[in-house]
Amino acid sequence: MRLILFLLVFISTITFAQDKQKPVQRDPYLQSPAKSQALTVNPGDRVKILNADEIKKDPDKYDGNRFLVGNVRIEHQGSILTADEVILYEEENFVKAIGNTRLQNVDGSVITAGEMEYDANTQKGVARKNVVLTDPKQTIRTDILYYDRLSNQAYFNTGGTITDGQSTMYTKSATYFLDTKMIDFLGNVKIDNPDYIVEGINIKQNQNTKVAEFFGPTTITRRDNPKNRVYTERGTYKMNSKEVYLNKNSKIFYNDKILTGDDMYYNQITGFGTATGNVTLDDPNEKRWIKGGYGEIFEKKDSAMMTKNPYAVKAFEKDSMYFAAEKIISYQKPDSLDIKVKKSFLRAFKKGRFYKSNAQGRADSIAFNETDGVMHMYTKPILWSGEKQVTGDKVEAYFNTENENIDSLKVIGNAFAISKVDSLTLKDEFNQVKGKLMTVYYEKNDIKEAKVIGNAQAISYADDFNEKTKKNERIGISLTSCGIIDAVFEEKALQIVSCNIGANSDTYPMSKIEPSKRKFPDFNWNTTDRIRKWQDILVDTPNYEEIKYETDDSLYNKAQDAVEKEKAKEEAKKPKRTRK
């Protein structure tokens, strides 16, 4: 039967060879070849008929071109096209297939459609109506598909879907390279996966490696937690390992936080991410952000680390608080009393500094409980408030979370508080109180009271109001020591409210107290490292010029001179003895 069919085809070809054919009306994608090109087609490059129930020719149908009907199978360069009906445009080596069309390609890919056009000279084709392209890697569905067997690629721009067994991709336009299994999406793209959704424009995806490249605004959203997502305008996504590399205007959203940087990496499985260059970690819930040159995030531990000149800013309603160090760590953990409540913590390691309008400080490390408003300063801490300074082995600051101000300080070990007597002058006069333990209380954003326990000592300048001159006049300096001291810092004075357990207090006129006793031996007033504006935290020390204070020893020196003169007089009165 097949032999008879081929004889009929051969005879029919001779019979109709002299008939004039009208050129086919082609899709714009299938450009018409020059006539000379069509005449020089090698016999081996022509479409071959393998099977057909009938071969017909009707002058009133298909412009007089032959057509094959019923179980049609034709072959070209190893690819097999089957259809209900095929029209042959023999002079142009061109075919149109209608009804249940199926193209089986040599590479194993298959295209099915309602109808197809194929130019055997250029090996380009167009498939229409419910088009499906399948190969071992995926299935493409669209209304119109353009394919090129020479370059081995397929293209559509009428909208379609691509499924690969794991994901479904929705796009307006895409080019599929069958050799490399690369898909080039143009325009809006959506990749729907059980674990994530990718939405963007201009995406390239390799179906062999499962690697997608982004060349425009793109978002990767996790299905199990849609708030955790990634945004980038240039990046690479390894879909199997869930690793993403971000290179332009990128953001990682996780646990209500936002990480940005020039170049970033993020693993959706482990929750680990890194960022370099202009890094910012923003925590809107805490009204706090951290900046630096390099950062790491640990989503599952809900923690982050920033280095390379990092600093943090915590915004309050009326004020802001700034932190800096060699390394800053932020993390959250459940409250020990209620696991549903998360508490936020910030730590600054190595050369920690902080600034607030009413308090500034530095220590080797600073730990801040943002939720409870408790700050711990370890290793050589120093804290300033106005013209007052507090130091010790460890300092704990307690903030009122409602009014955002410091309520009190606890100084543990070698507690030392210093207050400038008159902040408007450069006189070398300082009120001082020290001991083993100290609690400092604030009032109206300033240090007001200090309670000292254990070997408590104080040096305070004493003044008295002169009714005649209506001015305060210096009485002298009080030296106080006892087990417990309660002292109040007034405008220019340190008022000892109480002195208990082994109390001992003496007031010396200025003419009677020598300069060396006006300060404790470990007096440590620091003006070089003092943080005076928030930008000062950006360096290890602002290294201000040390303030030189003016010492007024005139009364003491005058009294000493008088004593020396009296001693000289007494010596002069003594009889002089001479040896014989």
**What is the tens place of the pLDDT at every residue in 499-544?**
888 778 888 888 888 888 999 999 999 999 999 999 999 999 999 9
Question: d(Cα 193, Cα 269) in Å, to the nearest integer?
Answer: 15
169's tokens: 């991709």
Under the banding of pLDDT at 50, 70 and 90, the label for residue 41 is: low
pLDDT at 441: 92
- Domain assignment present for residue 48? The answer is yes
Burial 64-97 (b: 16+ CB within 10 A, else e): ebbbbbeebbbebeebbbbbbbbbbbbbbbbbbb
Q: In the predicted model, what is the mean pLDDT of residues 270-281?
A: 95
| pLDDT at residue 368 tops 90 | yes
Handedness of CA 525, 527, 529, 532 (dihedral sign): positive
pLDDT at 39: 47
- Domain assignment present for residue 141? The answer is yes
Q: In the predicted model, what is the mean pLDDT of residues 132-153?
A: 91
Between the alpha carbon of residue 350 and those of residues 1, 102, 174, 296, 309, the distances in Å are 92, 71, 53, 18, 12
- Domain assignment present for residue 144? The answer is yes
Residue 542: in which H helix or E strand, if any?
Answer: none
- 277 C-beta neighbours (distance < 10 Å), count: 12
The residue with greater pLDDT, 199 or 445, is 199
- 414 C-beta neighbours (distance < 10 Å), count: 15
pLDDT digits (tens, 9 = 90+) for 253-267: 999 999 999 999 999
Q: In the predicted model, what is the mean pLDDT of residues 107-132?
A: 92
pLDDT digits (tens, 9 = 90+) for 325-350: 999 999 998 887 787 788 899 999 99
The residue with greater pLDDT, 1 or 269, is 269
Full residue range of the structural domain in which residue 92 is found: 44-158
pLDDT at 43: 61
- Domain assignment present for residue 76? The answer is yes
Question: d(Cα 492, Cα 572) in Å, to the nearest integer?
Answer: 45
Minimum mean pLDDT among 444-453, 474-483, 560-569: which range?
Answer: 560-569
pLDDT at 501: 81
- 384 C-beta neighbours (distance < 10 Å), count: 23
- Domain assignment present for residue 251? The answer is no
pLDDT at 487: 86
pLDDT digits (tens, 9 = 90+) for 379-437: 999 999 988 999 999 999 998 877 778 899 999 999 999 998 888 888 989 999 999 99
pLDDT at 20: 54
Altogether, the residues listed in the chain come to a count of: 580
User: Which residue matches tokens 């690793």?
Assistant: 243
Percent of the chain with pLDDT over 70: 93
Contacts by residues 149-155 (CB-CB < 8 Å, ≥ 24 positions apart): 149/77, 149/79, 149/105, 149/123, 149/124, 149/125, 150/122, 150/123, 150/124, 151/177, 152/107, 152/177, 152/178, 152/179, 153/177, 153/178, 154/111, 154/178
Q: Spell out where 327-424 has E strands.
A: 327-334, 342-356, 359-369, 374-378, 382-385, 388-391, 394-399, 406-420
pLDDT digits (tens, 9 = 90+) for 312-323: 999 888 789 999
Nearest to 435 by CA among 522, 344, 549, 533: 522
Number of domains in the chain: 1
- 214 C-beta neighbours (distance < 10 Å), count: 31
Summary mean pLDDT of the chain:
87
- Domain assignment present for residue 284? The answer is no
- Cβ pair 9, 55 in contact under 8 A: yes
pLDDT digits (tens, 9 = 90+) for 461-485: 888 877 777 777 888 888 998 989 8
pLDDT at 15: 41
Any idea what the CATH number is for the domain that residue 114 is in?
2.60.450.10
pLDDT at 182: 92
pLDDT at 44: 63
Question: d(Cα 2, Cα 8) in Å, to the nearest integer?
Answer: 10
pLDDT digits (tens, 9 = 90+) for 290-311: 999 999 999 999 999 999 999 9
The residue with greater pLDDT, 61 or 250, is 250
- Residue 199 CA to chain centroid, in angstroms? 20
| pLDDT at residue 34 tops 60 | no
- Domain assignment present for residue 529? The answer is no
Q: In the predicted model, what is the mean pLDDT of residues 109-115?
A: 94
- Domain assignment present for residue 571? The answer is no
Question: d(Cα 518, Cα 512) in Å, to the nearest integer?
Answer: 11
- Cβ pair 391, 413 in contact under 8 A: no
Q: In the predicted model, what is the mean pLDDT of residues 101-125?
A: 91
297's tokens: 């995030």
